[in-house]
């Protein structure tokens, strides 16, 4: 049976989501109870480690970890995650390319399992690295936005915790 290219990519994307969700321990009744500040600190520590692995110095923009619902359709869901969105910019694409290569090489050495290192689904087919930290289940999504037509090139990072419940929600 022959499938269309779109169906193949949809299947791969669905499989990748399943791998990340299973590795991170999100969903279901087994959501661990954790202190929100401890989770925030964990995400900040992993974000700092990710930046260090790039081995480049540039401008970093971001506001720190934010608590969000694991269920994007229901903000009242007690399953929460900490999300730290930030970017590395002020560097040319040659340096950012080296940063992505350094990151891809450094993640396994620091306890991360890389589940994707390749083009994203955008029209520009930007390089994307997705990984899960095996000990903490913290997840990473790093996308190199070359911005060849306009704007400054940058790497956009999403570092987020596995889902958890606060002790007060139990």
- How much is the pLDDT for 22? 46
Query: Do residues 63 and 56 make contact, with C-beta atoms less than 8 angstroms apart?
Result: no
Query: Phi, psi at residue 132, to the nearest 5°?
Result: -125, 130
SS (H, E, C) 109-163: HCCEEEEEEEECCCCCCCEEEEEEECCCCCEEEEEEECCCCCCCCEEEEEEECCC
Q: Which two tokens stand for residue 158?
A: 């999403």
What stretches in the chain show pLDDT beneath 50?
1-28
Q: Residue 29's pLDDT is what?
A: 59
- Within 10 angstroms of residue 56's Cβ, the number of other Cβ atoms is 16
What's residue 169's pLDDT?
61
pLDDT at 144 (0 to 100):
95
Q: Are 165 and 31 in contact (CB under 8 A)?
A: yes
- Residue appearing with tokens 């095996």: 134
Is residue 141 within 8 A of residue 84, CB to CB? The reply is no
Residue 137: C-alpha distances to residues 46, 54, 71, 90, 133 (Å): 10, 20, 18, 30, 5
Q: Is the pTM of this model over 0.85?
A: no
* Intra-chain end-to-end CA distance of the chain, in Å: 49
In DSSP notation, 81-116 reads EEEEEEEEESS-HHHHHHHHHHHHHHHHHTTEEEEE
């Amino acid at each position: 049976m022959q499938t269309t290219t779109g169906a193949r990519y949809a299947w791969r994307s669905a499989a990748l989501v399943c791998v990340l969700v299973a590795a991170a321990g999100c969903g279901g009744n087994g959501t661990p109870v954790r202190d929100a500040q401890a989770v925030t600190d964990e995400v900040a520590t992993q974000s700092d480690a990710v930046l260090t692995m790039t081995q480049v110095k540039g401008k970093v923009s971001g506001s720190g970890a934010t608590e969000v619902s694991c269920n994007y359709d229901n903000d009242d869901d007690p399953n929460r995650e900490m999300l730290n969105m930030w970017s590395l910019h002020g560097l040319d694409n040659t340096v950012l390319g080296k940063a992505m290569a350094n990151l891809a090489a450094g993640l396994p050495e620091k306890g991360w399992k890389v589940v994707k290192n390749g083009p994203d689904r955008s029209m520009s087919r930007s390089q994307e690295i997705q990984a899960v930290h095996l000990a903490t289940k913290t997840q990473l999504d790093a996308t190199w936005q070359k911005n060849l037509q306009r704007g400054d090139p940058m790497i956009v990072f999403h570092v987020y915790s596995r889902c958890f419940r606060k002790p007060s929600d139990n």
